[in-house]
Structure 1
Amino acid sequence: MSSEAPDAPDVPADEVEPVRIEDEMEQSYIDYAMSVIVGRALPDARDGLKPVQRRILYAMDEMGVTSRSGHRKSSSIVGDTMGNYHPHGDSAIYDALARMAQDFSLRYPLVDGQGNFGSVDGDPPAAMRYTEARMAPIAEELLADIDKDTVDFAPNYDDRLTEPAVLPAAIPNLLVNGASGIAVGMSTNIPPHNLGEVIDAAIHVIDHPGCSVAELLDTPDSDGYVKGPDFPTGAKIVNREGLWDAYTEGRGRLRVRAEMETEYDETGGDRIVVTELPYQQNKARRIERIADDVGEGKIEGIRDIRDESDRNGVRIVVECKRGANADVVRNQLLEHHLENTFSVISLALVDDQPRILNLKELLEAFVEHRREVVRRRSQFELDEAEDRAHILEGRLTALDNVERVVELVRDSEDRDAAMAGLREAYDLSEAQAEHIVRMQLGSLTSMEAGEIEAEYRDVQDEIERLETILNDESELLDVIKDELEAVKASYDDERRTGIVEDAGAVTREDLIAEEEVVVAVSEDDYVKRMSLSEFDPQHRGGKGIIGSRPKSGDRVSTVFTASTHDYLLCFTNQGQVYRLKVFELPEMGRTARGTSAVNIVDLDDGEEITAVVNTDDIGEGYFAMATRNGYVKRTEVSAFENVHSGGIRALTLESDDSLVDVEVTDDDGDLLVGTREGMTIRFSGADARPMGRSARGVNGIDLRDGDRVAGLVAAAADDDRHLLTVTKNGYGKRTPLSEYRRQSRYGKGLIDIKTDERNGPVCSINAVSEGDGLVIMSESGQIMRTHVGEVSTVGRNTKGVVVMRLDDDDRVAGVDVVPDEGRDDGLEADDETEAVGGSDGEAGPGDE
């Protein structure tokens, strides 16, 4: 016998179809992708289950492991599921089983687990041989009536058994427990929801099929039903815009924030207690990362962190350092660790095709499924009821003719003959005849007859009810609603996740403690900020303390106070305006020089900040600007709404002119312009008509030869404040604003202060109230903090008193007012005036 293989049969060439390999690979990949999508990764929109979850629950039902039975070893459940329905490995099945038992993963767990099924710390479940499980009561609602032909069955993987293609699902499980899965080229991430809210929304869809998604949402603008996701771990959702997108478009991004509260610690520091974590956060890993960031200095103000969680819930205690701002620590925790984003992708299978669904479409898919289930169940029950009525009719016929029936059966040769005789004599069906023949003699009593008649009437009523359901759509829908209400009554509970108004994402300023600071700028454009609390108030005439050490040849040019959370408009001598965030300025010690301002504000060579306006002080008014050469201009605040990083033009300057000061005013207010030689003019702000940003302005004061403008003040017509004038040599005085009478614009003004050799030229003028504080800085970097009450009130045309004592070669660089600071330091105002009297009249030609 030859060992050679037989020749391969010849194949006609016309039966070979050439295929491009890339086309074959594409089609094969699509087939594989759809297999994964439909068979493993995505939930069905009807019952909200993936195939593995559905098979586990069905296997448990077949095993009798219901909520009323004892717990069964998880390995037994996994084995039955894998052997009969899901041949994809025991680890995948057990992972799915464990997740359905986790009360921190599912809002309403479908499996009642006994043993270690994992934790929020990321601990894995114990091995399946150690844990036990049974169905949770709510899971039985998914399988209710599965034996009544409510759903289609398909052969299992080896055609030995059949399995349900979908479960009857009396609860809207897809929304209630959510779903997550990664398929090929797509993924789903549906958050869990509150059962009662979803059922109420489903009933509304039944009653109002034409409703919009907006009608289903419970928002501040509408009274709907679904407030938002309801995570099993609680926490808070902080952006409603993301909710709107998620429910109307099927996609959205939600910010979920931990629930925290601040407690007072008897040791002196505050304590932040975290009681709820965002969904699917690993608690142990989160605590570890917080501790790492504290150690690396990324998070400041934390002394200790510990986990005090137990079976009753989460409790993470963060101990703040003494003196640390608990709000800042809280915001740092939110930015880095305790707030995350949940991306909603409502992708589910509809007719075995993946679709992104909005809220109404998700509910419609469930309602349509329940309509089909109730219809098929009603038909199944109707068929059973009609079969039973048919049998009862035969029994009633036998009871009506009991003597003849007994005689006929007794005289028949065998059972078949008796059945044939009964069918012929009384026109019975084969089933009726067989039932009569099998009847026991005791069922022929009058009591039994009455029970059969009563049962027949009940069966007829049931048939009528079922036919009504099948023939009347409204009755069928009423059944669905009644069953949903019953489920809600059994399993509904309170919401766990709160919805709060969006306060915006945590920003950089949220991570900076809000405090008053002193900002110093030098002529060479070095800038820094220091806490105002570092400078204790002093009596006037003090030297202050070191606030800056400018480099050789440099000197302080500007000083102002602000809050770290303030946004400022900084006007420069060259007529530009920049927007500045105070917290972006470098915080340095008193002896530090500062950082070059070009890293923060794009200043040109020779450009200096000469005026600062806090945006919190800006309303619907005007910026009044004064230049060194005496020009004044008013421009509407609205013209400065969009100040980009490179700055914008505030006014046009002549080549030898510069911007000196800026104030916020209105149509009814007055403007006071003060000069370096001590002259001050007051005129109505309306005299300087509003102009655009590119305008130069109008003449405000007629300057003497060699004189220059020193500052600008905005005042109301009946302003009861004082004008504080401080000179370069550290002298100053307060004079009521009422002593400066209104004049016409472009006059020479009145003498405000004598600027002799002792006083030196005027450095600044400011409108002040009795409770204000003062920060004065010298060109060498000395800072003195005092109160307005320390500066005596005197008339015009006087020399004033010593406000800050300076070294021989030092001069005052700037003065800033701290509004409403009060006098809580115990200092008493000094009544010494050291004033020198003078004329109170208007200055004229040659007046010295």
Structure 2
Amino acid sequence: AMVDNVNITVSELITVITGPDFPTGAFICGRAGIREAYETGRGSVLMRSRTHVEDIKGSANREAIIITEIPYQQNKATLVVKIAQLVKDKRIQGISEVRDESDRQGLRIVIELKKDEIADVILNQLFKMSPLQRSFGIIFLAIVNNKPEVLNIKQILEHFILHRKVIVYRRTAFELRKAEEKAHLLEGLKIAISNLDDVVELIRASKNPAEAKAELISRFDLSEIQAQSILDMRLQRLTGLERDKIIRDYEEIMAVIAKLREILGDEKLVMKIIRDEFVEIKETYGDERRTEIIDAVDEILPEDMITQEDMAVTVTHTGYIKRNPVSIYRSQRRGGKGVVGVKNIEEDFVSNLFVASTHDTFLFFTSLGKVFWRKVYQLPLAGRTARGKAIVNLLELSEGEKVAAILPVVDLGKEENNNTILMVTKLGRVKKTSLQEFVKPLKRGKKALTINEDDEIISAHIMKGDDTVFLLSKNGSSIHFHEDDVRCMGRTAAGVRGIRLKEGDEVVGSIVIDSDSSILTVTANGYGKRSPVGDYRIQRRGGLGIMAIKSSDRNGKVVGAMQVEDESEVMLIANSGKMIRMPMGNVRVIGRTTQGVGLIKLAENEQVVAMDIVAPDDDSEDENGEEVEQKADE
């Protein structure tokens, strides 16, 4: 292509010279590195081993990864040892055996997987941590005019073709010189044959070879080389056939000389010779390409190396979190008493239970307006009855900062996920932000809301577009509005007013209403009530709202509110550390305008300071199939 078109571009050359071809085969992933190397002289390509998956004969639900080609300059024995070490160190789990079955037929490394392991997940782990996938650096460094220089692909070909031109010119000049020397000798023999009788007579009359040589040069105007060639000629060449052959050889060599002189005088003929020689080399030594160039592979993310598995994630009231495979909570016959998901510990209980895939994301919103990300597989895996790990030890929180809300999100970052996040602050501000604003996590968290110095986030909710929001203040005011009243804002915006608060008042609870159940409000002195959601009419946001429950001397300040049903259980926590677990089926539903009823009896100077929903027990058996009854809180 370069010989035929000296003005060819690098982009056009890439279509002809598609990329490196390595003797070990394997794959080159993507063309960007090749293009960069061709254009600048420097680049790198990602090489990946050629693998396939086979079922293991005689073993149900077991597979083996077979490696048949490895990246160039990777040692097979070293590769096998490296994979075995990764398995030994438990950096890669799910592999039962690694062995080398290579023979004369070619390379074959077998990696047997454990039962039910997913081959693609193990492969991603191997690509990430072993030499099965490696980058290969490219640098087009050449000596140009006695100096090292980095060239692009076109410059390399230009210098190579120039080198080939020099070779062809020198070779042609050499062949011309040899042909002219041969023609010179044949010309002398031709003269001798044409004057055969005179030459024979002259030689016979000479006293010695030197005299004969001198006489030949003098009489026939020959050179010393020609004269010596005549004297050296064998007598058999004086026959008629030999004389005709000498004349024929002379004519042929003169034609060769004419052709060689034409080549030296015409660059196009030189380039044609170069091209023909390239074609000859290709036809003689060309073979099928070994290294296959495939489309670029996505970056191997941590979740690509984690098997997708449903996890039960539990969060306790005091801020401990853990995960366990859902599979350990095996289904049980109806009426079973379940298993202990977290052992009851004094002053703590499970407040949230989520079932999420290991690839799902948890968003942690803090009181100071920041958001942190953690994948489910990054959460601590703890024993079934353990509390887990304190959330504050998982996140880089500032002094005085605490987690205000935890939200599980499926498919975070996918465009079709058009849900929003609603954040609520203590001073009654609300802000709605698209989930797409939270797709790029930072280790140290990211600002989710700009808040005033004396304000803080108290809650956050995932909104689906048609929800309504209920806010409650510590003085008993409430407001119920549609989420459409809050426009979507940027991640760092300060939000808008959700409820107008009187001096000294603050929001203590927020609910996203998702059913026609009831709202439980609780006050510090142990009073509260369940009122139908319908009693709280929908208003415009930003107003004073309506009274949900009076914060009288009898009731005390409002502690919080929750949406509950008859099957719900709520834990009330007193300032003494006492916790009261209360089934909502025991609390009758009454109107919004009522004062409320006594929910619990408190000792002198004792007050309710917090409330939380108790996550339902899993209807399951323990690992031994034994039924275990959870200890009741007194």
TM-score, normalised relative to structure 2: 0.73
| 1:216 match | 13
Cα 1:606–1:481 change in 2 (3 A) is closer
Asked if structure 2 preserves the Cα contact closer than 8 Å seen for 1:423 and 1:430, the reply is: yes
Letter in 1 for 2:224: E
| 1:635 match | 433
Task: Select 1:340's aligned residue among 118, 134, 138.
Answer: 134
Could you say what the CA RMSD is over the residues aligned between the two structures, in angstroms? 4.3
SS at match of 2:106: coil
Letter in 2 for 1:711: I
Task: Select 1:429's aligned residue among 218, 223, 226.
Answer: 223
| 2:201 match | 407
1:482 pairs with 2:276: yes
Q: CA deviation at 1:489?
A: 0.8
Alignment of 1:356-395 (within 5 A): 356-395=150-189
1:308 pairs with 2:101: yes
Q: Deviation digits for residues 16-46 of structure 1, max 9, x if unmatched?
A: xxxxxxxxxxxxxxxxxxxxxxxxxxxxxxx
Task: Select 1:695's aligned residue among 494, 504, 508.
Answer: 494
Q: CA deviation at 1:380?
A: 0.7
Separation in structure 2 between the aligned mates of residue 374 and residue 777 of structure 1, nearest angstrom: 94
Q: CA deviation at 1:379?
A: 0.7
Cα 1:596–1:241 change in 2 (3 A) is farther
| 1:661 match | 460
Question: Which one has the bigger strand percentage?
Answer: 2
Q: CA deviation at 1:685?
A: 1.1
Tell which deviates more after alignment, 340-349 or 453-462: 340-349
Q: CA deviation at 1:270?
A: 1.2
Asked if structure 2 preserves the Cα contact closer than 8 Å seen for 1:470 and 1:476, the reply is: yes
| 1:252 match | 43
| 1:529 match | 323
Percentage identity across aligned positions? 35
1:325 pairs with 2:121: no
Separation in structure 2 between the aligned mates of residue 642 and residue 276 of structure 1, nearest angstrom: 37
Q: CA deviation at 1:305?
A: 1.2
Task: Select 2:18's aligned residue among 209, 227, 247.
Answer: 227
SS at match of 1:591: coil
SS at match of 2:282: helix
Alignment of 1:459-470 (within 5 A): 459-470=253-264
SS at match of 1:289: helix
Cα 1:710–1:491 change in 2 (3 A) is same
Q: CA deviation at 1:428?
A: 2.1
| 1:502 match | 296
1:608 pairs with 2:411: no
Task: Select 1:444's aligned residue among 224, 231, 238.
Answer: 238
Unaligned ranges ≥5, structure 1:
1-202, 218-222, 714-721, 730-734, 752-760, 767-775, 781-795, 799-809, 816-848
Letter in 1 for 2:100: D
Separation in structure 2 between the aligned mates of residue 744 and residue 480 of structure 1, nearest angstrom: 84
Tell which deviates more after alignment, 536-545 or 618-627: 536-545
| 1:670 match | 466
Letter in 2 for 1:635: T
Asked if structure 2 preserves the Cα contact closer than 8 Å seen for 1:653 and 1:696, the reply is: no
SS at match of 1:298: coil
Q: Deviation digits for residues 281-309 of structure 1, max 9, x if unmatched?
A: 22223222322332232221111111100
| 1:189 match | none
Q: CA deviation at 1:274?
A: 0.9
Letter in 2 for 1:385: A
Count of equivalent residues? 543
Cα 1:483–1:696 change in 2 (3 A) is closer
Cα 1:332–1:690 change in 2 (3 A) is closer
Q: Deviation digits for residues 553-582 of structure 1, max 9, x if unmatched?
A: 123333334332334433245543222233
Separation in structure 2 between the aligned mates of residue 724 and residue 452 of structure 1, nearest angstrom: 118
Cα 1:550–1:573 change in 2 (3 A) is farther
Alignment of 1:177-326 (within 5 A): 203-204=1-2, 206-217=3-14, 223=15, 225-238=16-29, 240-266=31-57, 267=59, 268-326=61-119
Q: CA deviation at 1:450?
A: 3.2
Asked if structure 1 preserves the Cα contact closer than 8 Å seen for 2:127 and 2:133, the reply is: yes
SS at match of 2:467: strand
1:711 pairs with 2:472: no
SS at match of 1:318: strand
Q: CA deviation at 1:639?
A: 5.2
Cα 1:684–1:483 change in 2 (3 A) is same
Cα 1:546–1:555 change in 2 (3 A) is same
Q: Deviation digits for residues 592-649 of structure 1, max 9, x if unmatched?
A: 2112223322345572352425323565775433557875432355655655313314
Q: CA deviation at 1:550?
A: 5.8
| 1:596 match | 390
| 1:646 match | 445
Asked if structure 2 preserves the Cα contact closer than 8 Å seen for 1:626 and 1:711, the reply is: no
Cα 1:692–1:242 change in 2 (3 A) is closer
Asked if structure 1 preserves the Cα contact closer than 8 Å seen for 2:509 and 2:561, the reply is: no
Separation in structure 2 between the aligned mates of residue 636 and residue 596 of structure 1, nearest angstrom: 29
Asked if structure 1 preserves the Cα contact closer than 8 Å seen for 2:39 and 2:152, the reply is: yes
| 2:211 match | 417
Separation in structure 1 between the aligned mates of residue 162 and residue 517 of structure 2, nearest angstrom: 81
Separation in structure 2 between the aligned mates of residue 437 and residue 691 of structure 1, nearest angstrom: 106
1:472 pairs with 2:266: yes
Unaligned ranges ≥5, structure 2:
522-531, 549-559, 573-588, 592-610, 617-634
Cα 1:777–1:575 change in 2 (3 A) is farther
| 2:553 match | none
SS at match of 1:580: strand
Q: Deviation digits for residues 739-774 of structure 1, max 9, x if unmatched?
A: x9987557979x9xxxxxxxxx974599xxxxxxxx
1:582 pairs with 2:365: no
Cα 1:585–1:728 change in 2 (3 A) is farther
Q: Deviation digits for residues 113-142 of structure 1, max 9, x if unmatched?
A: xxxxxxxxxxxxxxxxxxxxxxxxxxxxxx
Asked if structure 2 preserves the Cα contact closer than 8 Å seen for 1:570 and 1:612, the reply is: yes
Letter in 2 for 1:671: D
SS at match of 2:359: coil
Separation in structure 1 between the aligned mates of residue 301 and residue 389 of structure 2, nearest angstrom: 23
Letter in 2 for 1:332: Q
Cα 1:270–1:701 change in 2 (3 A) is farther
Separation in structure 2 between the aligned mates of residue 779 and residue 513 of structure 1, nearest angstrom: 36
Separation in structure 2 between the aligned mates of residue 674 and residue 535 of structure 1, nearest angstrom: 35
Structure possessing the higher relative contact order (Cα contacts under 8 Å, 6 or more residues apart): 2
| 1:625 match | 423
Separation in structure 1 between the aligned mates of residue 122 and residue 394 of structure 2, nearest angstrom: 26
Q: CA deviation at 1:723?
A: 4.0
Asked if structure 1 preserves the Cα contact closer than 8 Å seen for 2:428 and 2:507, the reply is: no
Alignment of 1:750-829 (within 5 A): 763=562, 812-813=613-614
Cα 1:691–1:348 change in 2 (3 A) is closer
Letter in 1 for 2:403: E
Letter in 2 for 1:243: I
Cα 1:681–1:263 change in 2 (3 A) is farther
Q: CA deviation at 1:277?
A: 1.6
Separation in structure 2 between the aligned mates of residue 765 and residue 458 of structure 1, nearest angstrom: 110
Letter in 2 for 1:695: A
Separation in structure 1 between the aligned mates of residue 124 and residue 149 of structure 2, nearest angstrom: 39
Asked if structure 2 preserves the Cα contact closer than 8 Å seen for 1:673 and 1:701, the reply is: no
Q: Deviation digits for residues 766-814 of structure 1, max 9, x if unmatched?
A: 9xxxxxxxxx99979xxxxxxxxxxxxxxx999xxxxxxxxxxx97445
Letter in 2 for 1:465: K
Separation in structure 2 between the aligned mates of residue 611 and residue 458 of structure 1, nearest angstrom: 95
Asked if structure 2 preserves the Cα contact closer than 8 Å seen for 1:728 and 1:813, the reply is: no
Asked if structure 2 preserves the Cα contact closer than 8 Å seen for 1:395 and 1:432, the reply is: yes
